[in-house]
Every structure is written in C-alpha cells, then in structure tokens.
Structure 1
Amino acid sequence: MSIEKKTSKTLLLVGNPNVGKSVIFTRLTGVRALSSNYPGTTVGFMEGCLRYKSEAYRIIDVPGAYTLDPTNEAEQVARRMIDEGADLAVIVLDATALERNLYLAFQTMERGLPTIIALNMVDEARHRGITIDVGKLESLLGVPVIPTVALSGVGISKLIERIPEARTGHVAPLSSEERWQKIGSIIGQVQKVVHRHHTLRDTLEDLSVHPLWGGLIGILVIAVSFYVIRLIGEGLIDHVLDPLVAKFWIPFLIKLSEALKGWPLAQHLLVGNLIDGSINMEQSFGLLSTGLYVPIVMVLPYVFSFYLALSFLEDVGYLPRFAVLFDALFHRLGLHGYAVVPALLGLGCNVPGILATRVLESERERFIAATLISVAIPCAGLQAMIVGVIGHLGIRYVFITYGVLFLAWVIIGRILHMTMPGYSPELIVEIPPYRIPSVRDLFFKLWFRLKGFFKEAIPLVMVGVLLINALYMTGAITVITGILKPIFTNLLGLPAEAAAPIIMGLLRKDVAVGMLATLNLSPSQLVVATVTLAMTFPCIATFIVLWKELGGKKMTGSLAIMIISALTAGTLLRIALSLSF
C-alpha cells in the first residue's frame, strides 16, 4: 500500500539508538512505510502513516541520536529534521537508561515542539530492579508519558490514544550543565533502584564484550551464522529455485528463442547464446536468462539468508557487541567497528556488502570499505570455487589463497587510511541488553531490506548484461584480451590463455575460476591466477552497484586500486611460490 501524500500532521519519532524506536514505528504504521535517504546525505530514514479517528499523521522515524549537538552525520540529519519543524514529536526513552535518554528529550522539547513521551522497555527496567513513577515524571516534564513494551505491543494503543494530548511541556532553554542538573533532579524524584541478583543473561552480556571470551564467542557466532546462511541459501537454490527454473522458465525461454529466430538481435539480447545447443542460465547472457537468473537464483538466496541472520543478530542485541570487539582492528584501516557489517555481508555477496556501507558515517569510510570489499572479500560463489578447485591441490594452497587476500585487505586498508584525507570517527554505540526478538518485526525488517535489493540490484545486473553483450558483439572483449596478454605472461607467469578467464571474472568470478581449472595450470600458477582474479574487477553486479554508491570519479579510483593491488599481489605471490616450491 502506498503512503498517502497529503496528511494533516507530521509526527517525528525521536530517540537514542537502540531504544526500540523502529519497533514502535512498525507498531504505529504497519507495512504502510517506505525508506529513503535524507537529501544530500546517505543517512536513511523511514516514513509511514497512521490514522486515528478523524486525524491522519505522517510519521517520520528520525535517525537515532544521542544529542542535537551533532557528532556524526546521523545526528546532523536528526537535528535538521527537528529544526525544520513538525507538528509534534513522540520521544522514545529507554526506561533502563532514563538519565542518558532524557538529555536528547530535553533538547527536543526546548525547541518548543509539542511532545509525548513513550517510556519504552519498562519490562526490562523492572527485571533490573528499576521502578519509575510515571505519574510524577509526567508532572515534572509537563507532557504525557506512556509506559510501553514495543516488542509485545504493550502500551501502544494508549500511546496512540494520547497523541492528541501532545504539549510543549515545562522545559525551557538550558545550558548543558543546567540540563544535566535538571535531569539529575528529576531522576532523584522518579526513579528507584533495588538490588537484583546477577542473572545468566547478565553473565552472557559481560562475556560477549570480554577481550578473550568475547572474541571466542564472536568466532562461534560467525561460524554458526555462516553455516546457517549457507544451509538456507543453498537449500533455496538447490531445492526450490533451480527446480522451478528448470521446470517452467527454461521451457519458456526455449519457445521464445524459437519464436525469435527471424530476429537474431532480439533473440541474442533476450535469450542469449546457446551453449552446446542449449540455454545455460549462467553463461548465455540474455536479459531473460542470465540477467534474471544471476540476481534472483544465484544471489537473492544468499542475500535473504544473510539479511535474516543479520536482522536476528541486530534484534537479539549482539551486533553492537560484535562491532565493539572489531573496533580497534577496523580503526587501523580507517574505519570503525560497524564496518564489520558490510564485510560480513560481502562474504555472502559483494552487492549487499557494498550497499551496507551506507551504515558508515563519512564518504571516506564508505570509499575504503567498498574498495576493500571489492578487492579482498570473496563472495560465497567465489569461495565455493576456491575451496573446490584449489582444495584439490592440497589444503595449504587454500590457506595461501585466503592468506594473501587477508594480507591485501589489511595492507590496502592501512595505505588508504594513511593517504586519504579525513579521519575515522570514534565508535559511539549504545550496547543494549540481550532480548528475545519479535518474529513479526524481524521479518518486517527483512522485507524492507529485500525490497531494496530488488529495487537496486536487479535493474543494475540487467544493465550490466547489456554492457557485456555490447563488448562481445563489437569485438571489444577480444581487443582487451589481446592487450592484456603480455601483462599476464610477463608479470604473473601465466600462459596467454589465462587472460580470457580472468577478464571473464567481470561476468562471474566463480565461473571464471572453473575456466582456469581447464587450462592445465601448475598448482602455483592456478593459485596466482585465482588470487589475481579475486582481486581484479568485481563481477558486473558489484561493478554497477559500486558505480552507483561511489559515483563515477571515485569508482574509477577504486578500480585503479584494484588493478594495481591485483597485479602487485599476483607478481609477488608468483615470486614467493617459485622460491618456496
């Protein structure tokens, strides 16, 4: 259902990160919502609508912020949204951290915006021995305060009923020191904390951020997540999508191909080349064959399973802890801990990995993260071929391949960090308690992410297929291969025939590795060729998304880094292997 453009009032949903604001947004709007970026930024926000009695509200989920004195791009956007004016605001407070949450609430109310407070997570506060006098808090603030439990929906109907009661409250403009003094006075009057015994959940929360145990738990979480992701992804491909394609889509394409025999150009563009007299969904490169098969059958199942795992880890409350554990390492690469999210997604598919760089705050961070994903993080399909093809040579060659990619990731990251202007902002993240996620909200979040994939990735792959067809139809790919043959022979120690498969990596890197395996290369040559392939041009889907996210100028810089890095790594690896084996 589309969002109505004309609504009588605009309502801002304001709060710190991890206070349950997005869940309340979902409760208020249901599925009648859309996501977009704030103009001139990469900060996303959600927009939906709510009807209550005769009133209609346009609800905007303002990016999470700790303060309206901005320390990052998200807080800059939050401030601009609030300052630009709205009819009213619902400020979501975390009842387990009321003192810190009230600072943003005061700043918002000081702007004279009619306000209503949603005191969320009152169940968790109770479990922690925290009791809050809601009536007294409402009296001191001068605005309605409604206790809620967003995950279960408790208090949401009362919140909706009291939206018309939003008021400006008793808060006047204050200095930072005066604001904290006022907050301290309020906390002393409304909040009581009693002793509570340490629970198993408390122990697990402490262990998961411990330098040693947190790392071990992180490794376990990654291992289990990737097992589940691969299980779901491969299960969907092998048992659902491939059988459907074989039963329904390929017969349709065969009939279409026969009908278009009199129009060879249309036949080639829509259906593609026949491989050994039949349609090969991976290599025919028609818009309706490879153009749809690659994003929907080969990529979408892994995107679905990755986003499912990611959403679960977010809603459970583990992901911020994971980011904290990796923050020190990523800072050495010019990033902060949340860059682990795009990196993990990139291990499934580089497309969602690069799209996920939007969670990072600066253009500098997004460029570094996107480049590192494209150069040194192999997608699931490429990993499967590395293990399958290189693994037959011996496990040491698999370790060499992954070792070189990891070293490239670290070294390129360090070089970019030292040479690119700007700085890496500190990781400021609220670590929420562990929670049991809501299945409804988890799949709502998953649906929005998949909608973004369908909207952005699939059209880009179709454009890429058209581009590749143009290269082949004009003979440009043959010219490019001829130009690059001396480089492959002299620098990488590979036969001239290896140039074509590596260039084919622009289409499908996993297919290209399979083509390398047919050239009777020595083990050392095959490893060099595979590493070079993995680090050069990303597949066409990733290439197009990289172009869209970075822009033409920065994408060109990123590609230059890829080419130089791949040739350097391949050459040094050839020399090292010739001395060692």
Structure 2
Amino acid sequence: MQCHNMTEKIDINKEAKKIVLVGNPNVGKSVFFNALTGSYVDVSNFPGTTVDISSGRYKDMVVMDTPGVYGVSSFNDEERVARDVILYADIILNVVDALHIERDLFLTQQIIDMGKPVVVALNMMDDVKKNGIEIDIDKLSQELGVPVIPTVAVKGEGIEEVKEALDRARTGNRLPIVEENLRAVRHMVDEDSEALLVLEEDENIIARHNISGVKGMREQIYQARRERVDEIVKKVVHHTNRGASFSVKLGRWMLSPLTGIPILLVVLWLVYEFVGVFVAQTVVGWTEEVIMGEYYYEFIMKTLEPLLGTESLLAQLLIGEFGVLTMTPIYVFGLLLPLVVGFYLVLSIMEDSGYLPRVAVLTDRSLNLLGLNGRAIIPIILGFGCVTMATITTRILGSRRERFIATMLLGLAIPCSAQLGVIAGLLGPLGIKMAALYVSVIFIVFALTGTLLNKVVPGKSTDLMIDLPPLRLPRIENVLKKTYVKSKVFITEAGPLFLLGAVIITLLQYTGILDLIANGFAPITEGFLKLPRETAVAFIMGIIRRDFGAAGLNDMVSRGLLNSSQVVVALIAITLFVPCIAAIMVIFKERDWKEALLIWLGSFAISFLTAGIVAQVII
C-alpha cells in the first residue's frame, strides 16, 4: 500500500500522523500553520518541482502546509504538489474564507469526497459581520458532516478551538454520485482519495496506476458538487443589513433590480453628460475644430497645397476631403482620442470602484435572452461612446458566438456619441411622440435581432462567472494607468484601419464610383423610404463617419427638405445603417471575413427594411 505516496520523498517523520492544511489562495493558512508549529519549521523542495513545502510538529503529529489551490487536480505545479500531499494526509485542516464561502466550499466538498477526516476553520468571520452576513455554523457543520470552527485567525480568535477539534476530525457527507461510483475503481488504487481522482479523470493518477478503460465522470461530478455547494450556501448564509457598512448596503442595492436599475440609469446619465456632452461637444469642439481643424489643418494645407495642388490623385489622397494627412489625423486625434480617453476614464473608475461587475450581474438575466451574459454590458456601454472601440472590447466575451452576436448588435443598433449629439438635436424640436417613436423602434430592433440570433446562431453562450469585489473609492493611480494603456491600444489598432478606410473612400470618390453608389441608392430612398433623393448622399456620408450622415440630414432639415416624419425615418435608417468606415474595418479585423460580411450586409437589410416599414405607416 501507498507505494505511490509522494510525501515519502519529503524529509518528515514517516510514522507520525500528518495534518495537512488546505485552502484557496489568501485564506490565512499560514497563520494556522504558525499557530500549530511555532518556530519549529522545516522547508523542503517537493521532488521534480520548484514548489517548497513547509512542515513542522504539533504534539506528536507532522503539520504540512500546501500551496493555495481552488481544486485538487493536475493543472499546474502548485495543484500537483497540493494534490500529492492531500492524497496521503491523515487529517485535513481546511481553511475557508467565510466571506467567499460559495467559492471555497467547492474545494471543501472535494476533500470530503476523498474520504479524508476533515476539520473546517471558517476564517475571517469579522469580515462576514462587517458585510451584514450571518452564517449558521451548526447547520453548515451538519450539512458537511465535519466540525466547523468560526475563526478570526489574525486576532487569534478560534485558534484553540481548532486545535481541540483536530481530535474530532471526521469524514464528511460525500456526494451520492461519488458514493455510487467509487466502488468500481477503488480496487485499482491505494486510497479512496486516489479513486475519486480517477473518476475525475486526473491523468497523472491514472498513469501512475496504469489504469485503462475507466469511464471518466469529471463533468458530472463537478456539476453535482457545484449544485451541492449552492444548495448548502442557500441553507446556511443569510444576508442582513445588521452591522453592514454603507458601502455594503449600497453594493446590495446595486444588485437588486428594484433599486439597481434606477442607480444604473443615474450612472448612465452621468456618463452621457460627461462623455456625450462635455467630452463629445466641449472638449472635441476644441480639439477637433480648433487644434486640429484650424491650426493643424491650415499648417498642412499651407505646406503641401502649393507643392501638390488640389486636383491630382496624390493631392486627394494626402490633403483631400478624406486625405490621410487631413481628415485621418483630425478624426483620430481631434475626435476619437478625446472620446476614447473620456470613455476609458469612466470605465476605469467604474471598474476600480467595483461597480462594473455589479452592472454585469444586474443585467445578466436580460442579456441572456440575447445570447449574451452580463459581461456584454461593457462593450454595449462603450458603444455609446464609440462603436469602433466597443467592437475591440468584445474580446472580453467568453465565446466566438457571443462575440458575433455582440458585434452585430453594436454595429446595428448602438449610435455612437458623435452621432447621438446630432440625433438629439434633430429630435428635440419634433416633440416627445416622435422621439419616443425613434427610441422604441431602435430598442425593438435591438431586442428582436438579439433574440433571433440567440436562437439561430450555433453553439452555446457562456455563463457569467464573476467575483464581486467590495465597493471602494477608485485609486487615481490605477484609473489613470488603465485609461492610458487602453487608450493607447485602441488608437494603435484603430488608427491604421481608419487610414486605410480614408484611402478607399478617396479612391471611390476620385473615380466617380461614390456618386454611382449614391445614385444607386436613390430608387430605394425615394420609393420605399419616401425620402428625397439627396438623402442617399447623407447615407453614403454616414459610412465615412456616422455623425457626417446625421449632419447631412440636419442640413436637409435646415433647407426644408424633410418634414418631421421623414426626419424620424431617416434617423432610424442612418442609426441602423452600417457603422463608420473605421468600425467596419475593425469588424473585418476582429471577425473572420464571412462573419464580418454577414454583419455588414445584415445591417443594410435590417436598416432599410425597418425604416421602410415605419415610412409606410407614418408618411
């Protein structure tokens, strides 16, 4: 027996009982280790790894510490070392962070499933009280089937009780699925603990015992264990406001739909006021129109126009209406950069304060209907600043399916801040009914498209797995660093793509193809959408830059070419229309060309179909 015992290779008393400390990272195991062993500590290098194992004595027993792990498996050196020490322990002292009990009990239940005598030290109970949480210790002990001792290790509270409980360590309540299947593999290994890992498809244990032909049950056991832990937590953990700080109460209000939705609306309003009004209008008005539009533009034109003229292809490419030395830097540095910095500043504040994860949890159930999880709220919020930036941010989503759905919805139904300002200016004089019609149509298209994609796009979206950090005041250093890094990455990636788009548009204009495209749109514009022929030009300009298209409509309104109903139809079309050329280029970069083409053509079809239906009803 125990011919595979890896602890035999460590310099400890082989005859003594082994107490092994086990827990997730940062749960306070070292405090218990020091309390048990005092100053008599030895450190040994675990064979074949760079991981050290601390050991000492408590009474006539050997105490061994293990690296912090979230599960007993073989994914890295720390987990392999922890596994090999735990497998052959006589008593397990499992240290659990009481504030994160739902996370930590997964490891606890796995150790219990191994059949080891266990004592649970439920540590950091002071944090639990500060957060207005009550844990029924007796009920938890009953559910697990092992002694559970509440502790605050750093203050020495509960340490003596833990020492006394070590003599009462016992095997706990295994999962039924483990009990039912353990016998089939028990004879193949030396220990019950090894038999469990065979069922959980641990390749190292299977190879160690030369086992073959055993059907693994890892996914089934993990699922059953997760469900059992969730069931235990529901029975023993109770959230109250008694003793909770204001930040804890506020954090809970943010998660409840009744209070969380109004808080979210207020936050979004503040974000819009800062990014959509102050940055997009005041700051951009200075950077785009004054610094880049006057000083930079005049310098470039005075320097290069005498050399290149204005009519040649080279002149058009460099200093023309869409030139790489005129519109491109003015757009990227005058408009995009302030918006990007402003939005990433807000996002970093929301993230560093702990609010953003709560928004993800609050919106998770609603976004599930669209094939997304709560994490998708981040690119959606970003989209109201800049769809190009938001498209890049879809990388945070967990599956290709989610990234496709999110990119489609961003390109289709989320107007950027540059466009929103012009849209708000056009809708304002039309009254509340027309504004409500516009908003309702865009929202319905957003919801229906997402729901449909959720049903037809193959695959399965990922669940939201997210830790909720405590609410806190953001650290200025962290916020500024995140803002700088993310803004730099965005400009580095999006700038060259926009430059390429500017070259393409210039060539289309120089060759006359742009006018042909505009004329090609005219029959649809005049017939199905019931709009003047000139509206097609605004649509084309909207591809170059979204607010250019909206501004073109504004010019038509000022000339009396559009009535109120036509304004709403045109705004619906140009909002649902494909995003600007920079966003299109990023979509083709982030998705493969088939998906990008589907998103692009799909936006065309949905835009004109929706606007046409509205036109038939109201015009």
Cα distance, 1:203–1:496 mapped onto 2, change above 3 Å: same
Instruction: Please list the CA deviations of residues 526-552 of structure 1 after superposition, one character each: whole Å capped at 9, or x if unmatched.
Output: 211121111112101111111111121
Report matched runs for 1:115-130 at 5 Å: none
Residue of 517, 520, 536 corresponding to 1:480: 517
Aligned-residue offset at 1:81? 11
* Distance in 1 of aligned mates of 2:617 and 2:290: 45
Residue of 385, 402, 409 corresponding to 2:422: 385
Cross-structure match for 2:259: 213
Cα distance, 1:203–1:99 mapped onto 2, change above 3 Å: closer
Aligned-residue offset at 1:102? 8.8
Cross-structure match for 1:525: 566
* Distance in 1 of aligned mates of 2:108 and 2:590: 34
Aligned-residue offset at 1:325? 1.3
Aligned residues: percent identity?
32
Cα distance, 1:16–1:559 mapped onto 2, change above 3 Å: farther
Aligned-residue offset at 1:245? 2.3
Residue of 220, 225, 229 corresponding to 2:271: 225
Residue of 315, 323, 326 corresponding to 1:267: 315
Cross-structure match for 1:463: 500
Aligned-residue offset at 1:68? 9.3
Amino acid at match of 1:97: H
Cross-structure match for 1:9: none
Alignment of 1:549 with 2:590, yes or no, is: yes
CA RMSD of aligned residues (A): 3.9
Aligned-residue offset at 1:259? 3.4
Aligned-residue offset at 1:573? 0.5
Cα distance, 1:476–1:16 mapped onto 2, change above 3 Å: farther
Alignment of 1:257 with 2:304, yes or no, is: yes
Alignment of 1:331 with 2:368, yes or no, is: yes
Paired residue total:
437
Cα distance, 1:535–1:247 mapped onto 2, change above 3 Å: closer
Report matched runs for 1:95-174 at 5 Å: 96-97=99-100, 100=103, 131-133=152-154
Amino acid at match of 1:252: F
* Distance in 1 of aligned mates of 2:531 and 2:76: 56
**Contact kept in structure 2, 1:386 and 1:398, CA below 8 Å:** no
**Contact kept in structure 2, 1:287 and 1:466, CA below 8 Å:** yes
**Contact kept in structure 1, 2:497 and 2:582, CA below 8 Å:** yes
Cα distance, 1:514–1:241 mapped onto 2, change above 3 Å: closer
Instruction: Please list the CA deviations of residues 59-111 of structure 1 after superposition, one character each: whole Å capped at 9, or x if unmatched.
Output: xxxxxx97799xxxxxxxx96999999xxxxxxx989437835968999xxxx
* Distance in 1 of aligned mates of 2:429 and 2:420: 14
Alignment of 1:536 with 2:539, yes or no, is: no
Amino acid at match of 2:246: L
Amino acid at match of 1:382: Q
Instruction: Please list the CA deviations of residues 129-148 of structure 1 after superposition, one character each: whole Å capped at 9, or x if unmatched.
Output: 973359999xx9xxxxxxxx
Cα distance, 1:463–1:79 mapped onto 2, change above 3 Å: farther
Quick check: which has more Rg, 1 or 2?
Answer: 2
* Distance in 2 of aligned mates of 1:524 and 1:252: 43
**Contact kept in structure 2, 1:464 and 1:540, CA below 8 Å:** yes
Residue of 356, 362, 365 corresponding to 2:399: 362
* Distance in 1 of aligned mates of 2:586 and 2:366: 26
Alignment of 1:569 with 2:603, yes or no, is: no
Residue of 431, 456, 477 corresponding to 1:419: 456
Structure 2 spans left out of the alignment, 5+ residues: 1-22, 28-68, 82-95, 111-123, 133-150, 163-192, 201-220, 230-239
* Distance in 2 of aligned mates of 1:445 and 1:217: 24
**Contact kept in structure 2, 1:18 and 1:430, CA below 8 Å:** no
Amino acid at match of 1:577: I
Residue of 431, 434, 438 corresponding to 2:471: 434
Report matched runs for 1:255-334 at 5 Å: 255-261=302-308, 264-272=312-320, 284-334=321-371
**Contact kept in structure 2, 1:18 and 1:432, CA below 8 Å:** no
Helix, strand or coil at the partner of 2:152: strand
Helix, strand or coil at the partner of 1:534: helix
Cα distance, 1:467–1:84 mapped onto 2, change above 3 Å: farther
Aligned-residue offset at 1:426? 2.0
Aligned-residue offset at 1:439? 1.3
* Distance in 1 of aligned mates of 2:25 and 2:548: 42
Cross-structure match for 1:190: none
Cross-structure match for 1:12: none
* Distance in 2 of aligned mates of 1:388 and 1:464: 28
Cα distance, 1:499–1:234 mapped onto 2, change above 3 Å: closer
Aligned-residue offset at 1:517? 3.2
* Distance in 1 of aligned mates of 2:309 and 2:385: 41
Aligned-residue offset at 1:449? 0.5
Structure 1 spans left out of the alignment, 5+ residues: 1-14, 20-64, 70-77, 86-92, 108-120, 141-170, 185-194, 273-283
Helix, strand or coil at the partner of 1:505: helix
Cross-structure match for 1:203: 249
**Contact kept in structure 1, 2:371 and 2:405, CA below 8 Å:** yes
Amino acid at match of 1:571: G
Instruction: Please list the CA deviations of residues 132-177 of structure 1 after superposition, one character each: whole Å capped at 9, or x if unmatched.
Output: 359999xx9xxxxxxxxxxxxxxxxxxxxxxxxxxxxxx9997479
Amino acid at match of 1:298: L
Cα distance, 1:104–1:404 mapped onto 2, change above 3 Å: same
Cα distance, 1:81–1:249 mapped onto 2, change above 3 Å: farther
Aligned-residue offset at 1:342? 0.6
* Distance in 2 of aligned mates of 1:530 and 1:17: 53
Aligned-residue offset at 1:244? 2.4
Tell me the TM-score normalized by structure 2.
0.63
* Distance in 2 of aligned mates of 1:487 and 1:352: 31
Aligned-residue offset at 1:521? 1.5
* Distance in 2 of aligned mates of 1:479 and 1:82: 65
Cα distance, 1:483–1:209 mapped onto 2, change above 3 Å: same
